[in-house]
Amino acid sequence: MIHRPSMTATNAETEGEIRTLRLTLASAGHGCGNAEVLRSGVVTPPGRWFAGSLPAIVETVTDVPTSESSGQHARPGAASLPGVVAVVVVTGGLVREATDSTVAETLDALAAQDYPNLQVLVLVSAPPESVEKVVDAVTAALASTDRLAGSPVRLVGDGVRFAAAASASLRFVEGDSGLFLFLDERSVLEPTAVGRLVDELQRSNAGLVGPKIVDLDDPRVLRSVGWTVDRIGEIDDGLEPNEIDQEQHDAVRDVFGLSEIGLMGRADLLRRLKGFDDAVDDDGAGLDLCWRAHLTGARVVVVPSAVMKLRAVDGAVSPLTAPAAASRTTTVLALTGLARLPLVALLALFSVLGAALVALIRGRIAKALADLGGFARALLELPSIVRRRRRARPLRDVADREVADLQVRGSVRWDRFRRERHFRALDEARRSSFGTARRSPLVTAVWAVALVLLVVGSRRLITDQVRPVGDLFPLSESPWDGIRGYLTGWWDRGLGATTAQPTGLGVLAAAGVVFFAQMGALHTFGLLGLVVLGWWGAFRLAGVVDDARARAAALVVYAATPLPYAALASGRGGVLVAYAVVPWGLHIARRLSGLGWSNSLEPNADEVVVHPDTRSRLRLMAVFVLVSALTASISPAALLVMLVTVALWASGVLLVGGRNRSAGLALAAIVVGLVGAVALNLPWAARYLSADGWSAAVGSSAAPIGSWNVFRFAIGPASLGSLSVLAYPSLVAVALVARSWRRAWASRMVLVAGGFLALALVADRGRSPIDLPEVGVLLVPVAVSLSIGAALLVATFLADVRGARLGVRQPIALVSLLALIGSAVPLLSAATDGAFGQPSTSIAEQMDELLGATPESGDYRVLLIGDPELVPGAASDFDDVEFTLVRDARLVVDDRWSNPTATEDRVMLEALSAVRDRTTTRAGRLLAPLGVRYVVIPLVDRVRSTSEAPRPVASGLVEAFGEQLDLRSVYSPASMVVFENTQWIPVGAVLAATAAEASVAGGAASLAGADLSGSRPILAGASSWSSTDDVAVAGTVHLGVAFDERWSIAIDGQNQPAGRPSFGSVMAFDPTPDSWSAETGRITLRYDTSLVRYGWVLLQAGLWFLVVCVVAQPRWLRRRSRVSVAQPVLSMDGDGS
Amino acid sequence: MIRRIALGILAVGAVVGALALERRPVEAPVFAVATEPGTPVVPGGDAVGGATWYCGGTPALGAAEGGEYGGEVVVTNTGESPSTGTVSIFSVDAAPVRVPVSVEPRSQSVVDLDAQVTGNFVSAMVELDRATVSVEQRALHPAGNAVVPCANSTSATWFAADGFTAEGSDLRLLVTNPYLSAAIVDIGVSTQAGPRTPSSLQGFVVPPQSLRVVNLEEAGFRDEPVVGVQLRATTGRVVVAKDQHFLGAGRLAHVTTMAAPSLDSQWWFADGEKGAGTSESLVLFNPTESDVEADIMVLGLGTVPSSDGASQVPLELAPTTLTIPSEEVVVFDTAGLPGLPDGAHGFLVTTRSTASLVVERVITRPSGDAVATSVVVGAQPRALSTRWIVPVTPSVPLEDALVVLNASATAGTVDVLSIGPGGEEPLPGLSDVPLAANSVLSIDLLDAVSVGRPVIVVSDQPIVVERRLERSATSSGRGGSLALPE
């Protein structure tokens, strides 16, 4: 959109040399529509350049400010020196709160350069909300110096990275004979820097030169003097942490790489290299550029006499970030010569694995994950790497061996490690990639202890796998089966149906592929991983307190909560999911809200509010949606609790010391998260929009455990769990004695804890007017609140209590701190059992062992009916009991979800009602067409119901089934009562004559009167995703699934008439008599998947992919942020050459 | 500050409020309301699986020198739709034999058991697709036939108050397990010497779908005038009947009765008689672990002139209270009741405690030169109904064929209907027959349309109906049995 403001008479009269500007974007096509034209404005002559009121700019229409006309004042002697164009990329996001001063400092430093032939081009890439401010600052700063007045300023749009903007400058500037110098608003050059860089570049005949970079805040501290690089791209800056500059690195020398900030290069070289590579992240852009320069034979030299100060942003310790592992790896793979590439790639792989292992051992999980993730990401970007190699091919003027000679032999990582050992004490508090995490020996130790305790505590689970207790069902044996089953649209649950399948099935199948089909390992480590994920989330959330001890306390308290261990013991997957995601949900919402970015421990410091820029907000929102969707796919109840937690917290922000905008952003996240979760889980999510959707979403309620157990999180076995109540005083104490932002945070967490405690108590007392998630899930936000309370207590102790005048604060804080220590004891006790109290065997295992299928007997189902606490998985209500149909007596992950069809509902309710009302003694016959071979009534699961304290069996349940004449008691363990249905018909069968007759008649009465025995099993193990065949004798072919026209059979390759409804509930095929040869035939069963289903899956996968892309923001998406340049605005040939 | 306080109050208030909520009482989960088995009833209604009847057992040797030792199942369809089903005949050693059965509307079908399976005893299970069909068994024996309604359900407990092995009388328990799993039962016996639990009768296995006969004489209870039996299945459920052949000590006859599947606090008897040569006794068995006091109330004694002679007032006797020791049997001879007049009467035996008794009535009436003994288990309170079906009626015109007891304290009327091809037809002279409060009414079935046909007795008051059936074509005397409430 382009505005062409008309010049007003007033302006024309008052400003004299007014030039009309067109305000538009210099960038296009990158989707930053919100960075449109701000408003029209005018350019005033030097000295009157925007008094701060008119912001924007940006592209001149009539008079391109070349060096002649730009107003920049050339110094004497400039003509004899090469022209240098200093490209300053300004982003409001880099130095958020201090843009004015930093930009001014940068530009002032340029204006102060003693190098005469210097021009400045400012490129502004700022989010729309801050672009006005940034442009104001830039224009004001330019106007304040005579030398730079009239320098062109270009608005390149929001989200354009430094490297992309810098590359664009090659097109903004004409001429090949000069030099480019790339800076950003953090850079402050010493007055002699440009001149020394030019001198050395000419003297050394270098292609690229770079200054010595020091810290702006403390110029004694060195930040970069160039990089050496080894064969696998590991970088060494040769500096110790916070190394003081004592001129020890002041020799001019060749280096392999330079930081992209402060880098000066020959224009002709840069144009040949086409500037920075768009496919490379900012942090790796310098390395990539230098490497490509080496390919051309150009020298890369560091000029220590040229000094540039660099400002750290957002509280970072160092202003420079080394290229991330992914950037380095992709650069190595893209630029290493073909002959050396296989060996180098292999070395890189081993290096990454080794480094990750070492990082793990050292407790630096984030680093290990970053290493592994970086390598994995590099592999995912193979197409991009191939394109980069293609682009690099014409640059290879020197042999790859010569470039390799410039690299360091051996391992830079090892050298650095050895060096760091001597300076570990100085290497404190480096920021993690997430911005707020500070490593400290205490944090490392706490993490190490916690992880060791988890490993020790779960040793039997790791060796023997997690028992299928409660709803912790084993995953399907093969992820491919899961994926194929998901694709077909036939869900083999209950009676089976062509219906939406839970997205969780697809997610778990995909996870299985990532786990190399080791589904047992995925099951065990996935569940244990949820625990660690929860710890990590709480640790990250506690980052609101900028102190390692506080965060360690938060981690300890959250880890010591008995919830996850009791959940593992009693098989409550929903609790584990909630435990993992609720802290993350709150953490993401907090980041979105901008609150508590890193709150200082200064006693009177206000809460820090840093709103993320548009891109970060978009990414955070996408992360929130992704977390919500993943959570909903496994446990909708956990999602509900997570969203309500955020809502309560946001309410707390509104009420106590927050900003409305922050609360609004958090509330917006809830809406977006919920909508996103529903959208990403469609069509399955429609299940939760049905009449019983709410009940299905929140799941079965658990048996009451009593108020005391609610308070102490005792939803299952939790030895010494009572000590966990000692964490409550810390939260209350903080709310009472803390000051400033700590009090505000404590109040918010009190609201969360109080709200969810109340909900848990109401749920436990059975007094809720609506169904609520089980108590364990409701208690997770309480645990999170206590965890943050612990962090706040430590912060309060450090900031408000320690050193303060003696008063009531000291004893309260001290006692609470002591209590906090006691609350950690349950973590120790949880580790003693080795399996967190999981029973040595479970109902699911016993069922499998006792009733497991054999191919000869055919497929069948088990009717599992009994106490809602004891019937695993999602089950249907029937008065006071619940029931579910289990295929082949094997409970698998599918059984977590249920969406019974109307037919299944009707048939099951009819049969069970007849049993309940004692209007039949032939329940076996009523259930036979469904393939129900066994009826299992669980009595004791050894966790929720033990032999010492059994749950009461619903009265009349065993008796009613015991009265059935066609059910036979099966010898079974004391934990269950098992009846075998002697009338059962295999799911796939050729019906006996009487059964075939009854199948036509339909109706319960005729069914009860017919002898259905004698059917022959066929097609055992049939599935919807593969054509199954079997030899069968002539007769009516029975298929014990809900009638569906998509099923068809063929006999000896000859298609048979479509199936018909059978027994009023399932389906049967009546092959034509001439289909059978010699009374037998090879029967083939097929299921035809609808194209609509494939469409749905594609759409769903597309949506997930889209969200993942927004989260990951891969380069191929970001590449669109390219700056379009209509015409050059500067020429370096004019003066310089 | 105010906001912070408000927020704190909000949070704490929510928790305190939740704590203040009263806990919803934890109710024991219920799948099916326990319908304790008892006096068989015709369920009626639209049962999914129709109805299943369990017939306790009959002799099945067939014709022999002394007469026929056989059994029949009489299937009576009082409904308007035909019914089909299966009769499964269980015997001691053979696999069950299944016989299809069908019965037209408003008619009867008889299945001759010993024609299907021969053995000392057989029992039967009848599955029908209609709940309006009732089933009785008729045991054929040279010493007299016995008709008894089959049971509606199996049970894990069975009780028999009257056992008698004096002077060589036979007493057999017929235990049927109609299920596909073996049942294991413990049998306890109470005699005059007290309760006993013979080891041979503990853990007694009844194989699936079979009949087991327990001869109590052979089990060590020979020549016992009092034998109370309690059977408890530790595994499975069974059906229990008694086969008694009285051979002396004041009793003569062959009687087959169902044991009672449950204890109760009330037992009703419509038929009773005091007269010359007639002996009547109530046999009360308390299988519980506590002593029980039982009141015996005699009903239907008719009226006597009032003291002023101006009107007739009901004759009432004061209840007789007995103490029934734990696990003991008390035989109460009604002749000892002071003031009991000759003639018909009914009984109500009640306890002052919970269900703890089973009561049978034994009447030995003169029969030609001899006597004939009948044994009837009383009707339990839930059997009191305004409509009773009498599937098996005398095959010859008989006086006092039906005895009706008004179980209420309100006078009412009685209609007797015959079920024939045309439906329910009132019997001549048997409509709106007055029935005084707590009175007993004897009904003759003399009309041809009532002989051999099922009849229905309908009243506007809850009643109990008993039958006095001929023992056989060749045997004199009457047998007795309850009709079937609907």
The DSSP code sequence of A606-644 is PPPB----HHHHHHHHHHHHHHHHHHHHH-HHHHHHHHH
Of the listed ranges A559-573, B47-61, B141-155, B231-245, the one predicted with least confidence:
B47-61
Residues 6+ apart with CB under 8 A from A692: none
CB contact under 8 A, B7 and A880: no
Contacts of B236 in chain A (CB under 8 A): 962, 969
In sign, the C-alpha dihedral spanning A679, A680, A682, A685 is: negative
How is residue B25 written in tokens? 């009482």
Q: Quick check: B353 contacting A, CB < 8 Å?
A: no
Q: Residue B124: is its pLDDT beyond 90?
A: yes
CB contact under 8 A, B19 and A735: no
The alpha-carbon gap from B463 to the nearest alpha carbon of chain A, in Å, equals: 26
What phi-psi label fits residue A381: left (phi over 0), alpha (psi between -120 and 50 degrees) or beta?
A: alpha
Q: Which pLDDT value is given to residue A363?
A: 61
* Coil vs helix vs strand at A167: helix
Of the listed ranges A216-220, A221-225, A610-614, B40-44, the one predicted with least confidence:
A610-614
Structural element, H or E, at residue A354? helix A341-361
Structural element, H or E, at residue A552? helix A548-560
Residues of chain A with pLDDT > 90: what percent?
A: 19
CB contact under 8 A, A955 and B84: no
CB burial class (10 A; 0-12, 13-18, 19+) of residue A188?
Answer: buried
What phi-psi label fits residue B57: left (phi over 0), alpha (psi between -120 and 50 degrees) or beta?
A: left
Q: Quick check: B81 contacting A, CB < 8 Å?
A: no
d(CA B49, CA A224): 88
CB contact under 8 A, B49 and A707: no
**Which residue type is seen at A274?**
K
CB of A711 closer than 8 Å to CB of A754: no
CB contact under 8 A, B45 and A919: yes
CA end-to-end span of chain B: 76
Chain A, nearest residue to B49 by Cα? A920
The alpha-carbon gap from A667 to the nearest alpha carbon of chain B, in Å, equals: 18
Q: Which pLDDT value is given to residue A63?
A: 34
CA end-to-end span of chain A: 39
d(CA A947, CA A951): 9
* Coil vs helix vs strand at B430: coil
Helices (H), A765-842: 775-796, 809-823, 825-830
Q: Quick check: B208 contacting A, CB < 8 Å?
A: yes
Contacts of A645 in chain B (CB under 8 A): none
**Tens of pLDDT, residues A1056-1073:** 889 898 888 889 998 888
CB of A540 closer than 8 Å to CB of A587: yes
Beta strands in B1-64 (DSSP E): 51-60, 62-64
Chain B, nearest residue to A745 by Cα? B4
**B257 confidence band (pLDDT: 50, 70, 90):** very high
Contacts of B22 in chain A (CB under 8 A): 765, 767
Residues 6+ apart with CB under 8 A from B51: B42, B43, B127, B128, B130, B131, B133, B152
CB of A892 closer than 8 Å to CB of A828: no
Pairing of strands B239-248, B170-177: antiparallel
Q: Which pLDDT value is given to residue A2?
A: 34
Give the mean model confidence (pLDDT) for residues A290-300.
92
Q: Which pLDDT value is given to residue A11?
A: 35
Average pLDDT over chain B, rounded to whole? Answer: 88
Beta strands in B25-169 (DSSP E): 51-60, 62-64, 67-77, 83-90, 97-103, 107-112, 119-128, 133-140, 146-149, 157-160
**A37 confidence band (pLDDT: 50, 70, 90):** very low
Name the residue facing A921 among B4, B52, B181 (closest C-beta).
B52
Q: Quick check: B318 contacting A, CB < 8 Å?
A: no
The residues in B 148-167 lying below 8 A from A, measured between CB atoms, are 153-154
* pLDDT, greater one: A438 or A287: A287
Q: Quick one: angle between helices A519-541 and A548-560, nearest 10?
A: 130
Which string of DSSP letters, residue by residue, matches A993-1015? HHHHHHHHH-SHHHHHHS----P
Q: Residue A44: is its pLDDT beyond 70?
A: no
Contacts of B235 in chain A (CB under 8 A): 969
**Tens of pLDDT, residues B420-442:** 888 888 888 888 999 988 889 99
d(CA A409, CA A704): 67
CB contact under 8 A, B180 and A655: no
The alpha-carbon gap from A1007 to the nearest alpha carbon of chain B, in Å, equals: 8
Interface size, chain A vs chain B, as Cβ–Cβ contacts under 8 Å:
167
Q: Quick check: B119 contacting A, CB < 8 Å?
A: no
The alpha-carbon gap from B7 to the nearest alpha carbon of chain A, in Å, equals: 7
The alpha-carbon gap from B355 to the nearest alpha carbon of chain A, in Å, equals: 19
Give the mean model confidence (pLDDT) for residues A181-200.
90
CB burial class (10 A; 0-12, 13-18, 19+) of residue B359?
Answer: buried
What phi-psi label fits residue B61: left (phi over 0), alpha (psi between -120 and 50 degrees) or beta?
A: alpha
Chain B, nearest residue to A925 by Cα? B49
Q: Residue A64: is its pLDDT beyond 80?
A: no
How is residue A843 written in tokens? 């109902």
CB contact under 8 A, B29 and A955: yes
CB contact under 8 A, B28 and A955: yes
* pLDDT, greater one: A611 or A192: A192
**Tens of pLDDT, residues A352-389:** 888 888 777 666 777 778 778 777 777 778 888 888 89
* pLDDT, greater one: B110 or A947: B110
d(CA B399, CA B415): 17
**Which residue type is seen at B49?**
G
Q: Which pLDDT value is given to residue A547?
A: 83
Of A520, A533, A535, A532, give the one whose Cα is nearest residue A472. Answer: A520
Give the mean model confidence (pLDDT) for residues A883-889.
89
CB contact under 8 A, B49 and A954: no
Instruction: Scan for tokens 């619940």, then name that residue.
Output: A882
Contacts of A928 in chain B (CB under 8 A): none
CB contact under 8 A, B4 and A747: yes
Residues 6+ apart with CB under 8 A from A51: none
Q: Residue A235: is its pLDDT beyond 50?
A: yes
Contacts of A1008 in chain B (CB under 8 A): 48-50, 129
Q: Which pLDDT value is given to residue A1?
A: 35
d(CA B458, CA A544): 84
Name the residue facing A754 among B15, B47, B237 (closest C-beta).
B15
Contacts of B37 in chain A (CB under 8 A): none
Contacts of B48 in chain A (CB under 8 A): 910, 913-914, 919-920, 926, 1004-1005, 1008
**Which residue type is seen at A199?**
D
Contacts of B11 in chain A (CB under 8 A): 750-751, 753-755
Q: Residue A570: is its pLDDT beyond 60?
A: yes
Name the residue facing A1008 among B33, B43, B48 (closest C-beta).
B48
Beta strands in A947-1002 (DSSP E): 967-970, 976-981, 988-990
Q: Confirm whether pTM is higher than 0.95.
A: no
CB contact under 8 A, B50 and A1008: yes
**Tens of pLDDT, residues B194-246:** 999 999 999 999 999 999 999 999 888 998 999 999 999 998 999 999 999 98
Name which of A705, A725, A761 to mutate to probe chain B: the one with the most chain B Cβ atoms within 10 A of its Cβ. Answer: A761
Q: Which pLDDT value is given to residue B329?
A: 92
**Which residue type is seen at A173?**
V
Contacts of A757 in chain B (CB under 8 A): 14-15, 18
The tally of CA atoms less than 13 A away on the side-chain side of residue A236 is 21
Q: Which pLDDT value is given to residue B324?
A: 92
Q: Residue A42: is its pLDDT beyond 90?
A: no
* pLDDT, greater one: A690 or A526: A526
d(CA A83, CA A73): 13
**Tens of pLDDT, residues A575-633:** 999 999 999 999 999 988 888 766 766 777 777 777 777 778 888 999 999 999 999 99
**B352 confidence band (pLDDT: 50, 70, 90):** confident
Name the residue facing A968 among B33, B131, B180 (closest C-beta).
B180
**B49 confidence band (pLDDT: 50, 70, 90):** low
The alpha-carbon gap from A747 to the nearest alpha carbon of chain B, in Å, equals: 7
CB contact under 8 A, A881 and B29: yes
CB contact under 8 A, A955 and B31: yes
**A94 confidence band (pLDDT: 50, 70, 90):** low
d(CA A971, CA B329): 38
**A412 confidence band (pLDDT: 50, 70, 90):** confident
Give the mean model confidence (pLDDT) for residues A672-677.
92
Torsion of CA A96, A98, A100, A101, to 10 degrees: -140
The alpha-carbon gap from A1051 to the nearest alpha carbon of chain B, in Å, equals: 36
Average pLDDT over chain A, rounded to whole? Answer: 81
Q: Quick check: B15 contacting A, CB < 8 Å?
A: yes
d(CA A376, CA A434): 19
Q: Which pLDDT value is given to residue B317?
A: 84
**B46 confidence band (pLDDT: 50, 70, 90):** low
**Tens of pLDDT, residues A934-956:** 999 998 888 778 888 888 888 88
> Which DSSP state fits A141?
H
Give the mean model confidence (pLDDT) for residues B138-161.
91
d(CA A795, CA A813): 10
| Helix-, strand-, coil-residue percentages of chain B, each rounded to 5 | 5, 55, 40
Q: Which pLDDT value is given to residue B159?
A: 95
